[in-house]
Amino acid sequence: MMVPRMRLLGLCVLVLLPAAWLLDHGPAAPWPALAALLALGVAAAGDQAFGWRRIRPLEVHVTPVIRMTVGRPGRIALTVRKPAAMDGPLRLGLALPPGFASDQADLFIQPHAGQTAHGVSWPCTALQRGRFSLARCHVECRSPLGLWDLRRRFDFDCELRAYPNLTSGRHGLAGLFRHGEWGLHTRRRVGKGREFEQLRDYLAGDNFEDIDWKATARRRRPVTRVFQVERAQEIYVVLDASRLSTRPAAFLSERRQRERKEKTADTPPAVDPATIVDRYVTAALVMAVVAEQMADRYGLLIFSDQPDCFIRAGRGHAHYNACREALYDRRARLVSPDFDELFAFIGTHIRKRALLVFLTSLDDPLLAESFEESMAIAGRRHMVMVNTFRPPGAYPLFSNWDVKSPLGICQHLAGHILWESLFETRRRIRRHGAGLELLDPSQLCSQLVRQYLDVKQRQVL
C-alpha cells in the first residue's frame, strides 16, 4: 500500500495548476506544460518503484509465545531486519487483539547506518486472561525522494497468553503462613504429629506409648519414637466450570452496598467484567502457592457436565506451571453439572485420602440436592470442603436493620428464604462429614486459605 506525502501533494499543486493554465491559455504548442507534467509523473513513478525496492527486503519477527499477567504492564518484543544500506526512519503499527490495550498507536524507530537488525519493545497491558493471537504487524517507510509513504503488512503466528493476576488474591495473606511458624498470625498445632520422623534414646517424661519396644530389645536400652507434623498430604481443588459459573461476579455484590456507592460517588461505579469462574481460577492458583509453601501435594480437577481436566497431586515449579496452563484459558460452559459423573471419577482416580476443596454454586436447590446424593461415598473416604459464594441478600431475618421501605422488607424476606435454603443444604451435607461455607467475593482467597490452614492445624486429614 502506498500513501502520498505532503511533498508530492505540494508538487502537484505547483506543477499541475500552472500546466493546466498554460494548456488552456498558452501558445498552440504547449510543450513546456507537457514536459513538466511528464517530469512529475516520471519522478513520482520512479520514487515509488525505488521505494518498493527498499521495503521489500524488510522482515519482522516475533517470538511464537509471549506470556503476560493481567493488569501488569508488559512488552511485546519485535525484531526488524533490513539491508545494511537502507537508512531512514521506520513506522510500526501492531494489531493488538481485543483483550489487550496500549498507550501507543504506532512506534517510530531510527535504525543506525550499517545495522541489519533492530529490536523493538512494544508496551501493552493485558485486560483479561486467556489465549489470544497476534496476527499481523504493519511497517511504513519513506521513499527515497520523500514523495510516498510505503506500507507493508507482515503476518504472524504468535500466541499471547494472559495469566491471572494473583496480587489481588494474595493481598492480606502474608501473615497467614510462615516457614518458621512465626508472623502476624502464629498458628499452634493441636496435638502431636502423626508421621514418624526418627528414633532417639528415652528421656524422662516421654510417654510410654511412644516407646519402640522392638528397637529397645535390639539396643538393650529404652528407645522412643519421634513424630513430626504430617506433610506431603494431597490437596485437590475441584472447580466448577458449568452454567452457574458464567454469571458475572458483580451479581454477588450486595444491593445495599451498590446503592451506597451510587449515592456517594460522583460518577457511576465501574462494572466488574470478571465472572465467577474468573474468581475461582485466581483462588485455585493461590491455593496452589500456599500448598507448595506448606510442603503439601496439590492437584486440580475441573468439571462441567463431565470431568474436563484432571491433574494428579504433585509439587514443584513444573507442576505449578502445568496447573496454571490448565487454568488460565479455562471458560465456563452453558451446561448443567453432572455430580454423579464427577464423584464416580473421583472414586476411581483419587484413591488416597485427600482434602477436596470444592468451588461450586449450590444456590440452586436442585443442584444442591444432586450434590448431596452424589457425595455420600466421597465423604467417607476423603475430607470434603464445599465452598460457594453467598448470594446477594442471603442473611438471616433481623440480622440487619437497614430496612427503610416496604420494598426493603420484601427483599429481606426473600434473602432469609434463600439463606434458610442454604442452611438446610449445609445441615444435610454435614451428615456425610463435609462442610459448606458461604464465601465473600472480596475475601475468597483468604477464606479458602484459612480453611486449609485450620485443617492443617487440627491434623484431621
DSSP string, 227-258: EE---S-EEEEEEE-SGGGGSBGGGGS-HHHH
Contact 294, 315 (CB under 8 A): no
Contact 200, 226 (CB under 8 A): yes
Residues in the chain: 461
Residue 87 DSSP code = -
Q: What is the pTM of this model?
A: 0.76
Look at residue 12 and tell me whether its pLDDT is greater than 60.
yes
In angstroms, what CA-CA distances link 5 with 12, 138, 148, 273?
11, 18, 5, 43
Look at residue 451 and tell me whether its pLDDT is greater than 70.
yes
Residue 142: in which H helix or E strand, if any?
strand 130-142
* Structural domains of the chain, ranges and CATH numbers in brackets: 1-24+31-163 (2.60.40.10), 195-228 (no CATH), 234-458 (3.40.50.410)
With CA atoms as reference, report the closest residue to 81 among 94, 71, 90. Answer: 90
What per-residue confidence (pLDDT) applies to 135?
A: 86
- CA torsion sign for 354, 358, 362, 367 is negative
Q: Give the model's confidence band at 261: pLDDT under 50 very low, under 70 low, under 90 confident, else very high.
A: low
Strand 90-94 and strand 130-142: the pairing is antiparallel
Q: In the predicted model, what is the mean pLDDT of residues 395-414? A: 76
- CA torsion sign for 296, 386, 320, 345 is positive
What per-residue confidence (pLDDT) applies to 125?
A: 92
- Cα(first)–Cα(last) distance of the chain, in Å? 67
With CA atoms as reference, report the closest residue to 136 among 125, 126, 151. Answer: 151
Q: Give the model's confidence band at 184: pLDDT under 50 very low, under 70 low, under 90 confident, else very high.
A: very low
Contact 357, 448 (CB under 8 A): yes
Across all residues in the chain, what is the average pLDDT?
Answer: 82
Look at residue 290 and tell me whether its pLDDT is greater than 50.
yes
pLDDT in tens, 202-250: 888 788 788 888 888 998 898 888 876 666 789 999 999 999 899 887 7
More confident residue, 301 or 109: 301
What per-residue confidence (pLDDT) applies to 326?
A: 93
With CA atoms as reference, report the closest residue to 61 among 48, 76, 78, 73. Answer: 78
Give dist(CA 79, CA 72) in Å, integer: 23
Look at residue 401 and tell me whether its pLDDT is greater than 70.
no
